[in-house]
Amino acid sequence: MAAHSKQNPLPPCPFTPNCVRTSKKFNTGIEKLLDLTIQILEERAHSFEVRDPKRIHIHAVYKISVFGFKDDVDIILKESEGSTTVFIRSASRLGAFDFWVNQWRVKQTFRLLESNISP
């Protein structure tokens, strides 16, 4: 998992294991990462919306199929000097334990982004 950034603009996680907040830097432009992020959310999220197109803040809701619980995912993209940082926060709405679903989701999102960026 990527290191936690003090400059992460997303709200901190509570002191429960059902939330992940982290970031990862990609050596590509923001347009490509935005397109890939939207593609991932279209395939995997229950719903999503771009909350602030100028800042590129996306909010998605994932629904756990077995129990119907909902998790909130917020993503902010920031470009600087030809690279883009993806800030992500994935958190369960209910309970204190999520069986590592949020951590898996963030890792999977980063893996999908990496595998779709051509060298």
Shortest CA distance to 117 belongs to which of 109, 2, 4? 109
Q: Alpha carbon of 96 to those of 6, 10, 71, 114: distances in Å? A: 24, 20, 12, 30
Domains of the chain listed by start with CATH number? 27-115 (3.30.310.80)
What pLDDT, in 10s, does the model give residues 18-45? 999 999 999 999 999 999 999 999 999 9
Torsion 27-23-63-101 (CA) sign:
positive
Percent share of the chain, pLDDT over 70: 93
Q: What's the rounded Cα separation, in Å, for the pair 3 and 6? A: 10
Entry pTM = 0.88
